[in-house]
Amino acid sequence: MAGWAGTSLSRRGWAELIAEEAHELGLRITPRQLAEGLGVREAEGFTDEGEHIGPWEEEESGFGSRAERLDYRTSTRLALERWSADGKSWWPAWGRWEKPETEGAGPTRYKRHLALATAVLGKHALRVKAPAAAARPSTGVKTASPGGGGSIQEDFMHFGLVAILVLGGVVMIGLGTTRLAHSGHA
């Protein structure tokens, strides 16, 4: 199978690798942030010679040895550390340099990767939660996750509930407007 963006991994493989490494580093990454990272990977391609090498096309001075920059997992971990240090933004280290790219800077390409990022993070959250829950006895007390945010599943549930409430409100307004319009013609 041919790889994606100049590498031997598929686009899904890169999404899963970024999600796994973020989890290993204890970083919370949203679907949009992961999608932006995939956009950066797409924009960078892969080079194994010169000053900027590897899947993240970084230089040695701040990004590790040649071997570290060429290794997919290690370079991804280093990229995520840089991303986190830059306020969880891909712009300072990559986006501002990618502006001349034909299809735009990597982070601006997130829309084409958002569905995949959402699916991968949802699947990754289920895979990570299941063993942890089985390993410790339940105390019946829910604890907040570090960073104040909930899981991706909780975020989706919250979004779904808000969407239902908004749609319900729109329907109720529409019915009320229709009823008012028809009551004046009777």
d(CA 1, CA 13): 12
pLDDT, tens digit (0-9, with 9 covering 90-100), for 139-160: 333 433 433 445 666 666 667 6
8 Å CB contact between 5 and 45: yes
For residue 118, is it within any domain? yes
157/129 same-domain check: no
d(CA 103, CA 165): 37
92/127 same-domain check: yes
For residue 164, is it within any domain? yes
8 Å CB contact between 44 and 56: yes
Give me the domain span that covers residue 39.
Answer: 11-135
83/35 same-domain check: yes
For residue 38, is it within any domain? yes
For residue 4, is it within any domain? no
Instruction: State yes or no: pLDDT of 107 exceeds 70.
Output: yes
For residue 2, is it within any domain? no
158/130 same-domain check: no
Name the pLDDT band for 185 (thresholds 50, 70, 90): low
